[in-house]
């Protein structure tokens, strides 16, 4: 039996086929076309949304936006690949009316309209809310790491800079010795000019690294990225990567992404209020319930969320269904109107006065006021504030960990510099230097590495051996007085919804899995918060388009747009 035969490529057709016949009636590309045609491009802020009266005609921003939505929906993100699709893809020919802009025009459109592109994602969400696709019952918040346009070698931390500067100092010393001894020895492998050239390179590199270190110490940042300055080194599932921690909020019923926020915070602590506040405004609801995993455990953030009309159902590390939240006590007379209100200012006033608002009845219970005692700065710390860095290092060599609060570093008993590693849940700041501890045989602390914790008011700590020595020397001396500070607080018991917490993984994991694995959107092509947010908007838009099509179908969505 013979095979099916196609048409002859050289055969001429008297009446060409209509290009519309090549695109199926329920093709997603028809939804892209109808959705973009409905947008008010000038209100969204697109450049050249109104054509100029003179000059060479430009491309309609609607056509370029349609091209990008099509590209991100079908995993074609590169401007060069999109330019190729315009010439060989029938659906793109239909979408753009056979226009074929070059890659530079396509790339510049995304770069110049970053804020407007982010708004397009919100416009589609508004359209879906009009169709009641969003249930607005509660949302699930989660974060995931997306790689940035920045290699690990182009990301420098303070500890890495300290180590590189130290090694460069050693190289410079060696080259200086070789130059001094050059005239007295023969048969050397390198010439004098080559040694001088290597020495100049080391000095230039050291000067550059010292500039980066000074910049970080002045700004208070812990690291710097040279390619994408807004990206940060953070831990991901596959190890460490330089990227962004993207927060998404997923609607409980439709599983559509209700909102997102691009951050460079390596952890999820303290993100619930920031993410949910914007969703609450979009949903236009008095109180919004959220759920999140253990990584969002932050009592201060949960208190802020409740004060803003957001109920945080965060999974507890002990597996319980209750959590204690605390507010600074502010004595005030609460009226019935304030108690019944859902305005953030009224909610905060009630919670700080120890009164449970009506909207939180059954959710918050057991309001109790208590006094919290804190100690002021130790007397011994005052002398450290007057020390120079050299004096601090000399003091550390006596058997102390000395903290330079201005530069945010610690000198260890061996004279090495410990940099900030993290801030613990109890507020203690942890300092360490793994590179220096690899070759150090001293047992300054019980930990494997020289990890030492300081609170914000402590500037000096003795090692275990030094502490025993001081205790023996000062056993007959009276202890210096410590000033107590008493603060009044009000505490509540927050009752968490177990069903919502159990359903969290079913909501948050699927969108990230679809974007990263199915669509290949696990990395960004653009740099900087504004551009990365625009690209993330296209990621979320492509996902929500798929969900809307799955829920209603292309034909129903197109009919609703027209």
Structure tokens at 11: 């055969």
Q: How confident is the model at residue 187 (pLDDT cuts 50, 70, 90)?
A: low
pLDDT tens for each residue of 209-218? 999 988 888 8
In a domain, 544, yes or no: no
Asked if pLDDT for residue 183 goes beyond 70, the answer is no
Instruction: Find where tokens 């330019």 sit.
Output: 83
- Has residue 122 got a pLDDT over 50? yes
pLDDT at 2: 72
- Out of 9-13, 159-163, 335-339, 355-359, least confident range: 9-13
Do 287 and 142 have their domain in common? Answer: yes
CA dihedral 296, 301, 307, 310 (to 10 degrees): -20
Domain shared by 143 and 268, yes or no: yes
Q: Return the ∠ at Cα 466 (arms to 460 and 468), rounded to 5°.
A: 120
Do residues 89 and 186 both lie within one domain? no
Residue 126 lies in a domain: no
Question: Can you say whether the dihedral through the CA atoms of 419, 420, 421, 426 is positive or negative?
Answer: positive
Residue 557 lies in a domain: no
Could you tell me if 249 and 343 lie in one domain?
yes
For residue 470, the SS3 value is helix
Q: CA-CA-CA-CA torsion for 215, 220, 225, 226, nearest 10 degrees?
A: -10
Which residue range(s) make up the domain with 527?
A: 138-147+230-353+496-538
Q: What is the pLDDT of residue 482?
A: 62
- Kindly state the average pLDDT of the residues 146-174: 89
In the predicted model, is pLDDT for residue 436 greater than 80?
no
pLDDT tier for residue 554 given thresholds of 50, 70 and 90 = very high
Residue 292 lies in a domain: yes
Q: Helix, strand, or coil here: 327?
A: strand
Q: Which of 94-108, 290-304, 361-375 has the lowest mean pLDDT?
A: 361-375
Q: Say what the pLDDT of residue 379 is.
A: 44
Whether residue 343 sits in one domain with residue 235: yes
Instruction: Mark which of 450, 482, 514 sits at the end of a domain.
Output: 482
Kindly state whether residues 246 and 311 are assigned to the same domain.
Answer: yes
pLDDT at 304 over 80: yes
Are residues 143 and 291 located together in one domain of the fold? yes
Q: Are residues 253 and 143 in the same domain?
A: yes
Q: How confident is the model over 58-86, as pLDDT tens digits?
A: 899 999 999 999 999 999 999 999 999 99
Write phi, then psi, for 110 (nearest 5 degrees): -65, -35
Residue 299 shares a structural domain with residue 431: no
Per the domain annotation, does 77 fall within a domain? yes
* pLDDT, tens digit, 9 for 90 and up, residues 222-266: 889 999 999 999 988 888 899 999 999 999 999 999 999 999 998
237 is a domain residue: yes
Number of independent structural domains in the chain: 4
In a domain? residue 182: yes
Q: How many residues are given for the chain?
A: 562
User: Domain ends where: 225, 251, 280?
Assistant: 225
What does the mean pLDDT of the chain come to? 87
Which pLDDT band, with edges at 50, 70 and 90, does 500 fall under? very high
Q: Which residues contact 524 (CB under 8 A, 6 or more apart)?
A: 146, 147, 148, 149, 243, 244, 532, 535, 536
Percent of the chain topping pLDDT 70: 93
240 and 339 belong to one structural domain:
yes
Give the side-chain half-sphere CA count within 13 A for 304: 14
With tokens 């196609």, the residue in question is 6
Q: Which of 452, 482, 512 is the last residue of a domain?
A: 482
Residue 405: band (very low, low, confident or very high) from pLDDT cuts 50, 70, 90: confident
**pLDDT given for residue 376 in this prediction:** 57
With a cut of 90, say whether residue 449 has pLDDT above it: no
Same domain, 142 and 276: yes
Residue pair 382/401 in contact (Cβ under 8 Å)? The answer is: no
List of E strands, 148-279: 155-157, 223-225, 232-236, 239-251, 257-263
Stretch 8-21: mean pLDDT, rounded? 78
Percent of the chain whose pLDDT exceeds 90 = 53
Is 359 inside a domain boundary? no
Q: What pairs with residue 314 in β-bridges?
A: 292
What does the block give as tokens for 414?
A: 């061996």
The structure's pTM equals: 0.85
The pairing of strands 484-495 and 322-328 is antiparallel
| Same domain for 143 and 262 | yes
């Amino acid at each position: 039996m013979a095979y099916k035969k196609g048409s002859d490529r050289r055969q001429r057709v008297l009446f060409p086929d209509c290009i519309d016949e090549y695109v199926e009636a329920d093709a997603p590309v028809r939804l892209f076309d109808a959705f973009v045609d409905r947008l008010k491009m000038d209100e969204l802020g697109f450049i050249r949304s109104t054509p100029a009266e003179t000059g060479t005609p430009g491309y309609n921003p609607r056509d370029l936006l349609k091209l990008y939505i099509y590209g991100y929906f079908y995993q074609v993100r590169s401007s060069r690949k999109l330019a190729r699709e315009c010439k060989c893809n029938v659906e793109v020919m239909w979408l753009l009316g056979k226009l074929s802009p070059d890659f530079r025009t396509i790339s510049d459109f995304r770069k110049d309209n970053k804020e407007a592109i982010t708004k397009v994602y919100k416009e589609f969400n508004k359209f879906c809310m009009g169709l009641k696709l969003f249930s607005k019952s509660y949302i699930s918040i989660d974060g995931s790491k997306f790689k940035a346009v920045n290699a690990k070698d182009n990301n420098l931390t303070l500890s890495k800079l300290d180590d590189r500067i130290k090694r460069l100092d050693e190289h410079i010393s060696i080259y200086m010795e070789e130059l001094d001894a050059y005239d007295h020895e023969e048969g050397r492998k390198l010439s004098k000019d080559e040694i001088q050239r290597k020495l100049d390179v080391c000095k230039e590199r050291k000067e550059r690294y010292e500039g980066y270190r000074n910049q970080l110490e002045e700004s208070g940042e812990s690291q710097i990225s040279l390619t994408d300055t807004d990206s940060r080194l953070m831990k991901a599932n596959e190890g460490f990567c330089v990227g962004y921690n993207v927060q998404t909020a997923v609607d409980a019923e439709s599983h559509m992404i209700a909102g997102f926020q691009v951050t460079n915070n390596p952890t999820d602590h303290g993100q619930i209020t920031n993410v949910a506040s914007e969703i609450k405004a979009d949903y236009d609801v008095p109180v919004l319930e959220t759920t999140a995993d253990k990584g969002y455990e932050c009592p201060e953030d949960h208190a802020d969320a409740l004060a803003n009309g957001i109920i945080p159902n965060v999974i507890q590390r002990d597996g319980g269904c209750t959590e204690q939240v605390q507010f600074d006590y502010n004595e005030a007379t609460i009226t019935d109107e304030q108690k019944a209100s859902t305005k953030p200012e009224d909610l905060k006033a009630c919670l700080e006065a120890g009164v449970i608002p009506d909207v939180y009845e059954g959710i918050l219970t057991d309001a109790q006021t208590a006094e919290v005692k804190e100690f002021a700065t130790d007397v011994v710390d005052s002398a450290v504030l007057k020390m120079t860095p050299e004096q601090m290092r000399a003091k550390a060599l006596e058997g102390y960990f000395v903290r330079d609060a201005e530069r945010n570093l610690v000198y260890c008993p061996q004279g090495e510099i410990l940099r900030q590693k993290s801030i613990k849940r109890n507020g203690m700041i942890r300092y360490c230097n793994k590179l220096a501890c690899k070759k150090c045989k001293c047992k300054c602390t019980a930990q494997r590495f020289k990890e030492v914790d300081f609170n914000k008011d402590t500037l000096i700590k003795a090692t275990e051996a030094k502490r025993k020595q001081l205790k023996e020397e000062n056993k007959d001396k009276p202890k210096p007085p410590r000033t107590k500070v008493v603060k009044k607080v009000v505490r509540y018991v927050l009752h968490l919804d177990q069903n919502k917490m159990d359903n969290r993984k079913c909501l948050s994991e699927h969108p990230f899995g679809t974007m990263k694995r199915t669509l290949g959107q696990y990395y960004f092509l653009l740099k900087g918060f504004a551009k990365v947010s625009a690209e993330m908007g296209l990621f979320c838009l492509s996902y929500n388009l798929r969900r809307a099509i799955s829920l209603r179908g292309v034909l129903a969505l197109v009919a609703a747009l027209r």
